[in-house]
């Protein structure tokens, strides 16, 4: 069974499709990275999933049941746009109000449980307005975690965080999936960071999912290449181009694709008397993969 299954979901605003017959499958226990350029329909899809917007058409199933089923709705927690907290109230008071809204029993215990998950037990009495951006995002996640949801929908929870904030968020999200078996749907433009935690990816463009793949599939598609910096870049480029199948100049580097054996590349250069300044093995990351995919699609559309 999948946590989310969407078929042909559509939503238009003033006759323009924001979500256009979108199909998407999020397996149970996944951290599903939802990627796409500004205005591609990520937030709208998430709002539809949460019932904040009414779709024009299509089908949404959560845990195998229709998404409007009340038994299923209580299993969904979400952070979309902002935490919706009262700035003058403390973190504890905000969480308490949400517990009351949700009709939760043992509210005090539940608040302590979620504060522990987001590493904010010490900050319960801090006013929301005094929180840093990173803390506010964590309070938002704590709000979404109240009632122990099986699915967490997070719209850009890591954008704008510093390195430490990102690391804490990474740990929190990994904990949630590993310890609580929660499934996470997360959108972000910070691809390098998303890549460290996502188990699956869905790439959306103009309201449609254009590609869905697991992190393993992504890994196996990722091109391996060796970057070289030599003193005489022009000479080194000519030599390598004559020796290897796919050699490209990218910015300050030469890239030799599909060759992992850095030693053979180095000895080719050294035998010809080249001075090597740097040589290292690389793999295309999510960021480059995404950029290449998008530029390919652009060409297709312009044809
Ligand atoms: N309430 C609304 N009324 C009118 N148009 C809307 C509304 N909400 C979204 N749209 C439009 O729908 C499209 C998709 O917007 P959406 O916010 O879902 O994109 P997004 O992928 O979340 O973008 P971003 O990365 O900037 O957050 C955009 O063209 C946007 O202008
Ligand atoms: Mg958005």
For 242-292, how does the pLDDT look when each residue is reduced to its tens digit (9 = 90+)? 999 999 998 889 999 877 788 999 999 999 999 999 999 888 888 888 888
Going from the Cα of 295 to the center of ligand 1, the distance in angstroms, rounded, reads: 22
Ligand 1 contacts CB of residue 81 (under 6 A): no
Q: Residue 302's pLDDT is what?
A: 42
Is residue 52 in some structural domain?
yes
pLDDT tens-digit map of 91-123: 999 999 999 999 999 999 999 999 999 999 999
Ligand 1 contacts CB of residue 203 (under 6 A): no
Q: 131-140, 145-154, 280-289: lowest mean pLDDT where?
A: 280-289
**Residue 135 and residue 109 in one domain:** yes
**Residue 234 and residue 107 in one domain:** no
Q: Whose CA is nearest to atom 7 of ligand 1?
A: 13
Is residue 106 in some structural domain?
yes
**Residue 178 and residue 133 in one domain:** yes
Ligand 1 contacts CB of residue 188 (under 6 A): no
Q: Residue 212's pLDDT is what?
A: 96
**Residue 117 and residue 257 in one domain:** no
Calculate mean pLDDT across residues 210-216. 94
**Residue 160 and residue 275 in one domain:** no
* Domain end marker among 191, 212, 233: 212
Q: Where are the alpha helices (DSSP H) in 51-210?
A: 70-73, 91-102, 107-117, 133-145, 163-180, 191-197
**Residue 63 and residue 178 in one domain:** yes
Q: In what order do the strands lie in the sheet with 224-230?
A: 247-250, 253-257, 224-230, 276-283
Residue 37 and residue 40: Cα distance in Å, rounded? 6
**Residue 208 and residue 86 in one domain:** yes
* Domain end marker among 178, 212, 246: 212
Nearby residues of 205 by Cβ (< 8 Å), 6 or more positions away = 36, 37, 40, 294, 297
Residue 118 and residue 83: Cα distance in Å, rounded? 14
The domain spanning residue 89 has which CATH number? 3.40.50.300
Domain containing 261: what range? 223-283
The domain spanning residue 257 has which CATH number? 3.30.70.980
**Residue 67 and residue 156 in one domain:** yes
Ligand number, closest to the Cα atom of 204: 1
Is residue 303 in some structural domain?
no
Ligand 1 contacts CB of residue 54 (under 6 A): no
**Residue 50 and residue 145 in one domain:** yes
Q: Where are the alpha helices (DSSP H) in 104-189?
A: 107-117, 133-145, 163-180
Give the environment of ion ligand 2: residues with CB less than 5 A: 42-43
Is residue 130 in some structural domain?
yes
Q: How many domains does the chain have?
A: 2
**Residue 167 and residue 240 in one domain:** no
Ligand 1 contacts CB of residue 226 (under 6 A): no
- The confidence band for 301, taking pLDDT boundaries of 50, 70 and 90, is very low
Going from the Cα of 13 to the center of ligand 1, the distance in angstroms, rounded, reads: 9
Is residue 160 in some structural domain?
yes
**Residue 249 and residue 138 in one domain:** no
Ligand 1 contacts CB of residue 177 (under 6 A): no
**Residue 76 and residue 206 in one domain:** yes
- Answer for the pair 173, 181: CB distance below 8 angstroms, yes or no: no
Residue 261 and residue 280: Cα distance in Å, rounded? 10
Give the nearest ligand 1 atom to 204 CA. 21
pLDDT tens-digit map of 187-203: 999 999 999 999 999 99
Is residue 176 in some structural domain?
yes
Ligand 1 contacts CB of residue 39 (under 6 A): yes
* Domain end marker among 212, 238, 258: 212
Task: Kindly state the tokens that stand for 154.
Answer: 């997070």
Q: Residue 283's pLDDT is what?
A: 80
């Amino acid at each position: 069974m999948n946590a989310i299954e969407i078929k042909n979901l559509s939503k238009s605003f003033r006759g323009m499709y924001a979500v256009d017959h979108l199909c998407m499958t999020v397996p149970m226990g996944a951290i599903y990275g939802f990627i796409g350029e500004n205005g591609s329909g990520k937030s709208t899809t998430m709002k539809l999933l949460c019932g904040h917007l009414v779709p024009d058409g299509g089908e949404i199933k959560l845990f195998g049941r229709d998404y409007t089923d009340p038994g299923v709705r209580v299993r969904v927690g979400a952070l979309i746009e902002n935490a919706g907290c009262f700035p003058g109230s403390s973190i504890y008071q905000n969480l308490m109000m949400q517990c009351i809204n949700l009709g939760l029993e043992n509210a005090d215990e539940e608040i302590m449980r979620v504060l522990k998950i987001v590493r904010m037990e010490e900050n319960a009495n801090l006013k929301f307005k005094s929180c840093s951006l990173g803390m506010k995002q964590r309070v938002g996640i704590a709000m979404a975690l109240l009632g122990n949801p099986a699915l967490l929908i997070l719209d850009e929870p890591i954008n704008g965080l510093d390195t430490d904030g990102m690391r804490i968020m990474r740990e929190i999200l990994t904990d949630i999936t590993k310890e609580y078996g929660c499934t996470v749907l997360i959108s972000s433009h910070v691809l390098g960071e998303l890549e460290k935690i996502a188990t699956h990816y869905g790439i959306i463009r103009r309201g449609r999912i254009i590609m869905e793949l697991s992190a393993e599939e992504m890994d196996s598609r990722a091109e391996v290449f060796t970057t070289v910096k030599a003193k005489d870049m022009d000479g080194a480029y000519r030599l390598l181009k004559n020796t290897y199948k796919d050699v490209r100049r990218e910015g300050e580097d030469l890239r030799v694709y599909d060759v992992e054996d850095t030693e053979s590349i180095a000895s080719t250069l050294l035998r010809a008397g080249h001075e090597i300044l740097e040589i290292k093995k690389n793999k295309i990351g999510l960021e480059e993969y995404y950029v290449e995919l998008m530029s390919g699609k652009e060409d297709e559309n312009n044809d």
